[in-house]
Amino acid sequence: MKNQDWIQPTLYPFKRHYVQLSQGTMHYLDEGQGETIVFIHGTPTWSFLYRDFIKSLSTQYRCIAIDHLGFGLSDKPKGFAGTPQAHSQNLQEFIDLLGLENITLVVHDFGGPIGLSWAIAHPQKVKRLVLFNTWLWETQTDKDAQKIDKLLHGWLGNYLYLNTNFSPKVLLKQAFFDKKKLSKPVHKHYLKPFPNKASRYGLLKIGQSLVGSSDWYQQQFEQIDQIKNKPALILWGMQDKFIRPTYLQKWGKTLPQAKIRQLESGHFVQEEAPQVSIAAIKEFMLENTPALL
C-alpha cells in the first residue's frame, strides 16, 4: 500500500516488513526477540489491532503480526479468492518462508479458522494457543450467519461493502460494547486501508465466506484433536453481538484444558480490554514455560 501518511507513529510505531507470496505481497510486523508469538487478525482489521500487545510483549518475545492479502498494508488483488482457506494457505507460505517454529498462535474472528486450520495441519510447530472471539465449526445452521450471508450475496450487501466501506465504517463500530473505546484516530486506522471500491473486495469475499466456507470449517473442527492438548487461553468478550457466548461454551467443551477469561467487552476485545488481555497472555506464557533445570 503506497500511501501510508495517515498512519500515526504514536499509535503504530513499528518498522514495516514485506514478503512476496505466490498470491501477492504481504505486509507484516516483526518486533522483539525470544519465543515467537504470531498474531492473526480477522475482518475488517489488520495488524494494527494488536499494536498494544506488540508494544508490551515484544520486550520479552518475538511478536509477528501479518496483514492478510486484501487487508491493512498488504496487496489487495481483486483476483485473489479471499476465502479463509485461501488465507490459510498464505499463512502457511508465510510461516514456511520465515522458518518459524514453537509458535504461540493468537487468533481472532476469521483469524480463528485461518490460523487454527494451519495449526491442525502443523501441530509440531505449535506451542500454545490464544483465542479471542472466534469459531471453527459449521455456520450454515446459524440463523445470524444466514442473515449476513443473504445480505452479502445480494445487490445491497455488495453495494454497501464496495461503495460505502460499510464493514469498517459501520459494522466495526457496532461490534463495540463501549463505543467510547473506539476513538476517531483509532477508527481512522481501520477506514484508511480501504480508500476505494477496488480495495474492498477482500472485505466482501471474506464476509461471503462466513457461510460459504461452512463445510471447510467443519472439516477443520473434526480434526481438532491434533491441537486439543496444547496449552490454551481463551479471552472472550461477553458482550459480542456477532460471536455470542454460546460459542464460548462450545470452545469450553472442545478445549477442556483451556484457561478462560470472560471480559465485559464486545467483539474487539483487543481494543476494549487490551491491558487485561495483555496481562493474561503474559501470565499464560510464563505458566506454560518449562522451568530451567
DSSP 224: G
Q: In three state form, how does the secondary structure of 247-262 look?
A: HHHHHHHHCCCCEEEE
The cell for 192 is: 484508511
Query: Contact 103/65 with Cβ under 8 angstroms?
Result: no
Q: How distant, in Å, are the alpha carbons of 38, 86, 91, 100, 189 from that of 116?
A: 12, 13, 11, 16, 26
DSSP track, 52-96: HHHHHHTTTSEEEEE--TTSTTS---TTS---HHHHHHHHHHHHH
Is the CB of residue 281 less than 8 Å from the CB of residue 130? yes
CA distance 132 to 282: 15
**Cβ contact 268:240 at 8 Å:** no
**Integer Rg of the chain from CA:** 18
Q: Nearest 5°: CA angle at 268, between 262 and 274?
A: 70
Tell me the catalytic residues: 109, 240, 267
Enter the C-alpha cell of residue 2.
503506497
Q: Which of 106, 94, 71 is nearest to 207 (CA)?
A: 71
